[in-house]
Amino acid sequence: MLVGISVFTYGFGGLVYWLARRKHLICPRCGLGWENASRALTLAGSEAEQRAVEEQPDERLPKSGIKRRLLGAGMVVGGTLLLLAGILGAEGALAAWGSVIGGGGSLTFYWGWHELQERRKAIMQRIQRKVLRLAAAKGGTLTVTEVAADINLGLPAAEKILMSMDDGFRVRSEISNEGIIYYEFPELLHRRELGSGD
């Protein structure tokens, strides 16, 4: 997309596109935009809690589809140039080939974009599982700072993860008497009190 816009606007359109979309790039480590990318904090939990979070190995992430997206973008640009050359030169076959190549490039780009979305989803699920293991180790309540410290995320990224998990049922946010926002996991918090139903 960046290359395609730059070709037809003498680079100006590509610059505008980059300025508008640069913060939407995905960090391969945490799955969030680069402005919220993971970064180490000096805070640290106990060794037992860290082991509880890290004891299970992460599965392999899906591919990001970058090659397909680049190939698709290149095919779209090439197809567009062929189409324009065919129209300007009154060459029907050239215009037809340009249309076919451009259409194939669009499909290839969409294929890569779909893989990127799957990778984002897998990364988010991976982090959520780590948060759940940490919540179990902490007794069923977490703060944003605890998540950021123990899972090695920035504070904005940790807050975003917890807010995405807050459904008001299995995960809910509460405010303490001191004004501290914390997240409660009732199924973990009251695990020992659960009994068999009638």
DSSP string, the chain: -HHHHHHHTTTHHHHHHHHHHGGGPBPTTTSSBGGG-----S----HHHHHHHHSSPPPPPPP--HHHHHHHHHHHHHHHHHHHHHHHTT-HHHHHHHHHHHHHHHHHHHHHHHHHHHHHHHHHHHHHHHHHHHHHHHTSEE-HHHHHHHTT--HHHHHHHHHHH--SSSSEEEE-TTS-EEEE-HHHHTGGG-----
Domain count for the chain, please give it: 1
Q: Is 179 inside a domain boundary?
A: yes
pTM score > 0.95 for this model? no
- Residuewise pLDDT in 10s, the chain (198 residues): 666 666 666 566 666 666 666 656 555 555 555 544 444 333 334 444 445 444 455 567 778 888 888 888 888 888 888 888 888 888 888 888 888 888 888 898 898 889 888 888 888 888 888 888 898 888 888 999 998 888 888 888 888 889 988 888 888 888 888 888 889 988 888 777 766 655
Q: Which domain holds residue 148?
A: 2-193
Write down the pLDDT at residue 49: 47
Domain containing residue 125: CATH number? 1.10.10.10
Q: Is 96 inside a domain boundary?
A: yes
Q: Is 198 inside a domain boundary?
A: no
